[in-house]
Amino acid sequence: MDITATKPGFDWRKRRFLLIEGAIVLAIILLLIFVIPPFLVSIGQAFRVNLLGRYLALAIVALGIDIIWGYTGILSLGHGLFFALGGYALAMYLQLQPDGQLPDFFSLYGVESLPIFWQPFSSLPFTIFAAIIIPTVVAAVLGYLVFRNRIRGVYFAILTQAALIVFFNFFNGQQKLINGTNGLKTDTATIFGQTVGSSTVQWSFYMLTVVLLAVAYALCRWLTSGRLGRLLIAIRDDEPRVRFTGYDPTAFKVLVFAASAGLAGMSGALYTVQSGIITPKAMDIAFSIEMVIWVAVGGRASLVGAILGTLIVNFAKSFLSEKFPEVWLFFQGALFLIVVTVLPGGLVGWVRSQGLDYSRTLLRGKQRVTTYPSLEEDPDVEYERQDLTNRKSDG
């Protein structure tokens, strides 16, 4: 006899679903590493492997936005700040390679010794830690100060934009310390004795991005499932009622906001090393709003939708800008209007609500029941319905 089958609360269906989901994620990882890159190289589109790596890095920040906006109802329009902090952390490490040398741009401004806050970034373990923890701490402090005063909705979105503008202006003005508007280049730096811009190093970071995207997905999946996930959704739908039941939404909102910022920092570091540069432009308001659009296109409260939305929007932007360089912005605007007016739930939302019904109709399958399946499919109920219909027709 299987003992686990008798354990109270043991859900074999849930475990089976998780195993299937894990298998699908593993299959996608293998596809992204062993199938798609060789195919792109074989058709002479090797540069698109680098583009795919960048967009997969951006999908990580989209996952973070989805857990705070889609699941918790916190709209942040300033995630470019946390993205940039992660990018600058890794870029500072690369600027100090090899052997903690003084970056070239310091000589342009007469700086002869390395500033104190630069010195810890000569260590790779510290840099990896800082790229995630610094955005997390900044978000936790900002979130606590805001959420404890019960500021939410559009007021919170405005505050995140205000914080973004403050940091944007600060980074722009620091020419001597972080090269100001010019930013920090990473493609000509070296890591482990090899140039960052080389194909070997870029391929390594591409594979690392794929793996970390899977890790980020697993983390977000854990945060949005179980009791914590249900509580986050309850905060999104009716925060006063959650507070009335005895929970303090502040702690949970700070937790999820900080986790989202940590993912943004990771995303910024991976994107920077694959794009070759990080500048204060990453803290532009338009870029932060674009992050929200990725999630909206894919579908709110859908982790898969956040990833798909990021890839679709960015590849569409790349394709349209190549084919229609003069009018591609009009196509991009039309895409966003279609999503807002026709697909308010995003692509995944449409598949869940209408796409499945259309597919059942095409395959002549059984239509989805939206009310009481047990009653609708009960043969006695069906017999009573047919009998009532026959009586009406006879009368």
DSSP letters, 145-180, are HHHTTT--THHHHHHHHHHHHHHHHHHHH-HHHH-G
158 and 22 share one domain: no
Decide if 74 is inside a domain. yes
Confirm if 264 and 82 have CB atoms less than 8 A apart.
yes
219 and 253 share one domain: yes
Decide if 114 is inside a domain. yes
295 and 196 share one domain: yes
51 and 75 share one domain: yes
59 and 124 share one domain: yes
Q: Report the DSSP beta bridge partners of residue 113.
A: none
Position 69 scores a pLDDT of 94
Q: Which residues are CB-contacts of 265 (< 8 A; sequence separation ≥ 6)? A: 82, 83, 85, 86, 89, 131, 132, 133, 134, 135, 136
31 and 64 share one domain: no
Q: Which residues are CB-contacts of 267 (< 8 A; sequence separation ≥ 6)? A: 57, 58, 59, 60, 61, 64, 83, 86
34 and 74 share one domain: no
Decide if 179 is inside a domain. yes
User: What is each CA distance from 143 to 70, 161, 258, 380, in whole angstroms?
Assistant: 17, 13, 8, 56
Q: Amino acid identity of 109?
A: Y
The number of distinct structural domains making up the chain is 2
Q: Amino acid identity of 12?
A: W
40 and 138 share one domain: no
- Collapsing DSSP states into helix, strand and coil, what is residue 324? coil
Q: Rounded to an integer, what distance in angstroms lies between the CA atom of residue 198 and that of residue 111?
A: 30
Confirm if 162 and 145 have CB atoms less than 8 A apart.
no
40 and 51 share one domain: no
Position 335 scores a pLDDT of 77
What token pair was written down for 172? 């722009």
Q: Cα 340 from chain centroid?
A: 20
Position 349 scores a pLDDT of 81
Q: Rounded to an integer, what distance in angstroms lies between the CA atom of residue 148 and that of residue 251?
A: 9
Of 274, 298, 327, the one marking the end of a domain is: 327
120 and 39 share one domain: no
Position 167 scores a pLDDT of 94
CA angle 134-136-139, nearest 5°? 110
Decide if 29 is inside a domain. yes
Q: Rounded to an integer, what distance in angstroms lies between the CA atom of residue 201 and that of residue 224?
A: 34
136 and 230 share one domain: yes
- Collapsing DSSP states into helix, strand and coil, what is residue 43? coil
Position 361 scores a pLDDT of 63
In terms of C-beta density within 10 A (0-12 exposed, 13-18 middle, 19 or more buried), how is residue 178 classed?
buried
Backbone angles phi, psi at 278, to 5 degrees: -135, 130
Decide if 173 is inside a domain. yes
247 and 305 share one domain: yes
Stretches in the chain below the pLDDT threshold 50: 1-8
User: What is each CA distance from 46 to 38, 49, 54, 308, in whole angstroms?
Assistant: 8, 6, 14, 21
Position 282 scores a pLDDT of 94
Decide if 228 is inside a domain. yes
State whether the Cα torsion 77-78-80-83 is positive or negative: negative
| Domain extent at residue 268 | 46-327
- Collapsing DSSP states into helix, strand and coil, what is residue 194? strand
Position 371 scores a pLDDT of 52
Of 296, 312, 327, the one marking the end of a domain is: 327
Q: Which residues are CB-contacts of 154 (< 8 A; sequence separation ≥ 6)? A: 75
Decide if 198 is inside a domain. yes
Of 312, 327, 342, the one marking the end of a domain is: 327
Decide if 347 is inside a domain. no
Position 363 scores a pLDDT of 63
Position 3 scores a pLDDT of 43
